[in-house]
C-alpha cells in the first residue's frame, strides 16, 4: 500500500537557525540513504518564503512506518520537535491506496445514509 510521509513546520526556533540547517542536511542524508537502498523515494523538500515548509517521502506504507519507527529516525523526529516550530509528521495514503481509501469511505458512507 503506497503512502506519503509528510513532515511540516513553520520556522526554526529563534536562536536555533544554524542547527535547523544542519538538521535539514541530516534528514536529507538519512532518508536519502533509505531511498538509495530502495526502501522509499528520495526526500522532496518544499520551502515557502511565508514560513510553512515541508518534506515528503513516499513508499510502501509498512516500510516507511518501519523506518520511521527505527531509533535513528526517532532521534531525527525529536530533533525536529526541538528545532522547528509547528513540527508535525503525518502519513497519507497515496496512489492506488488513496483510491482504495476513497472507495472504503464511500462504502462506509452508504451504511449510514
Overall average pLDDT of the 98-105 stretch: 91
Please state, rounded to an integer, the average pLDDT across all residues of the chain. Answer: 95
Q: pTM for the complete prediction?
A: 0.87
32 grid coordinates? 536519502
Overall average pLDDT of the 73-84 stretch: 97
Decide if pLDDT at 113 tops 90.
no
The C-alpha atoms of residue 20 and residue 60 are separated, in whole angstroms, by 28
Q: How confident is the model at residue 78 (pLDDT cuts 50, 70, 90)?
A: very high
pLDDT-above-90 percentage for the chain: 88
Overall average pLDDT of the 79-91 stretch: 97
Q: Partners of 25 in the beta sheet?
A: none
Decide if pLDDT at 3 tops 80.
yes
CATH value of 2-112 in 3.30.70.100, 2.70.180.20, 1.10.10.10, 3.40.250.10: 3.30.70.100
Domain boundaries, the chain: 2-112
Amino acid at each position: 500500500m503506497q503512502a506519503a510521509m509528510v513532515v511540516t513546520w513553520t520556522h526554526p526556533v529563534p536562536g536555533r537557525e544554524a542547527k535547523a540547517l544542519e538538521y535539514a542536511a541530516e534528514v536529507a542524508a538519512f532518508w536519502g540513504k533509505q531511498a538509495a537502498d530502495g526502501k522509499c523515494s528520495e526526500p522532496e523538500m518544499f520551502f515557502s518564503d511565508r514560513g510553512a515548509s515541508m518534506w515528503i517521502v513516499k513508499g510502501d506504507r509498512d516500510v516507511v512506518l518501519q523506518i520511521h519507527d527505527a531509533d535513528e529516525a526517532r532521534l531525527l523526529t525529536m530533533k525536529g520537535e526541538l528545532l522547528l516550530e509547528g513540527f508535525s509528521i503525518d502519513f497519507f495514503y497515496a496512489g492506488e491506496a488513496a483510491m482504495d481509501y476513497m472507495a472504503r469511505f464511500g462504502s462506509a458512507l452508504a451504511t449510514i445514509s
